[in-house]
Amino acid sequence: MTEVPQQLVDDASEELYERKVIKTDKGQEPYRIDKFLMNRIEGATRNKIQNAIDAGLVTVNGHTIKPNYRVRGLDEIIVFSYDSPESTDVVPEKIDLNIVYEDDSILLINKPVGMVVHPGSGNYTGTLLNGVSYYLQQQNPNINENILPRFGLVHRIDKNTSGLLIMAKTAKAAAHLAKQFFNHTVDRKYVALAWGDMEADEGTIVAHVGRNQRFRKLFEAYPEGEYGKEAITHYKVLERFNYVTLVECILETGRTHQIRVHMKHIGHTLFCDTTYGGDKILKGTVFNKYKQFVDNCFQICPRQALHAKTLGFIHPETQQKMFFESELPADISQVIEKWRKYVKGKEEY
């Protein structure tokens, strides 16, 4: 509905819906809301606004409304809109999907490592969204991005992060899930292997996350909040291996690279995170056998050791709480087992 502002592109989030709040003046004359919003939102059309209203993406004073609602003085209008920086067309492709759960409203997928979530610069085919669009069109040939924006994608995870991702199969479900993500009520737990022996058994990291001011493909933690968007990560130690620590990370917010950036910020870069320097020995004395051991671990898991393990949310239709959990993939599991044996002196090189 709107052109993506530069700040939104710079402060990218895993959540793909943005919220626009409009407050009317005290003397606002009654005016149909679809016409009112056309004058207030750049690039909006009456059809798009009416579709958004029908999906529940427009509320007035906290309530959903009908397209013929007339705005009044001191109304608070909230519009949720899909504002991904990437607007590349989605070409349906037949791709194997690991579907964990599906009903008429939602689709839960366990994304493998190495799969990009949606088409964008340099990745126009072979993405999860290419596969989902094909899959949904087999069920309903008439479905398209006008009916279901980005084929129900409401959040994303990094290419080299594995794990659970929820998608909507209807516009109404997309709106419901988008609001849950925006209000931070979705339960998301990740398992990560991080460099170093963490001092505290648990804690909270609070630091804005935004793009690095020099290297635009990297993200940075800004504890003073001078750039980026608010980001909060809670962590808990699951197991210690002297030089690395297995942790559970709970996202309160969902910024791009949030866990990876926050863990680096506190001095515990994720194991084998090639983007943020975790693909070299950061803890431990570099002697031949230890280096050989770590290099073997890197070969087994040549990506950031991060997995989106659990996902909890309110079902858009039944209003029931749903909770899903996925097993750790083989690469991370094997590396964890190698570290267990190493600290016990049983690891063979």
Q: What is the pLDDT of residues 79-102, one digit of tens each?
A: 877 655 556 788 999 999 999 999
Whether residue 10 has pLDDT greater than 50: no
Q: Which two tokens stand for residue 106?
A: 């939602």
Domains and CATH numbers, the chain: 17-82 (3.10.290.10), 99-183 (3.30.2350.10), 188-343 (3.30.2350.10)
| Percent of the chain whose predicted confidence (pLDDT) is above 90 | 64
Catalytic residues: 158
Q: What is the pLDDT of residues 20-35, one digit of tens each?
A: 889 999 889 898 999 9
pTM for the whole structure: 0.85
User: Could you tell me if 82 and 2 are in contact, meaning their C-beta atoms sit under 8 angstroms apart?
Assistant: no
Mean pLDDT over each residue of the chain, to the nearest integer: 89
Q: β-pairing, 219-222 with 306-314?
A: unpaired
Average pLDDT, integer, range 339-348: 84
Tell me how many degrees the CA angle 316-188-117 measures, rounded to the nearest 5: 80
Whether residue 9 has pLDDT greater than 50: no
Q: What is the pLDDT of residue 62?
A: 84
Q: What is the pLDDT of residue 11?
A: 43
Whether residue 8 has pLDDT greater than 50: no
Q: What is the pLDDT of residues 159-188, one digit of tens each?
A: 999 999 999 999 889 989 988 988 889 999
Which residue in 329, 158, 287 sits closest to 295, CA to CA? 287
Which residue in 153, 142, 213, 205 sits closest to 177, CA to CA? 153
Q: Which two tokens stand for residue 224?
A: 């003073």
Q: What is the pLDDT of residue 13?
A: 60
Q: What is the pLDDT of residue 82?
A: 65
Q: What is the pLDDT of residues 214-241, one digit of tens each?
A: 888 899 999 998 889 999 999 999 999 9
User: Could you tell me if 37 and 24 are in contact, meaning their C-beta atoms sit under 8 angstroms apart?
Assistant: no
Q: How far is CA 266 from CA 152, 240, 246, 249, 261, in A?
A: 35, 17, 15, 13, 9
| Percent of the chain whose predicted confidence (pLDDT) is above 70 | 92
List the beta bridge partners of residue 59: 64, 78
- 344/349 Cα distance (integer angstroms): 14
Whether residue 1 has pLDDT greater than 60: no
Segment of 46-50, 68-72, 122-126, 201-205 carrying the highest mean pLDDT: 201-205
In this structure, of 1-5, 87-91, 133-137, 242-246, the range with the lowest mean pLDDT score is 1-5
Q: What is the pLDDT of residue 128?
A: 95
User: Could you tell me if 29 and 148 are in contact, meaning their C-beta atoms sit under 8 angstroms apart?
Assistant: no
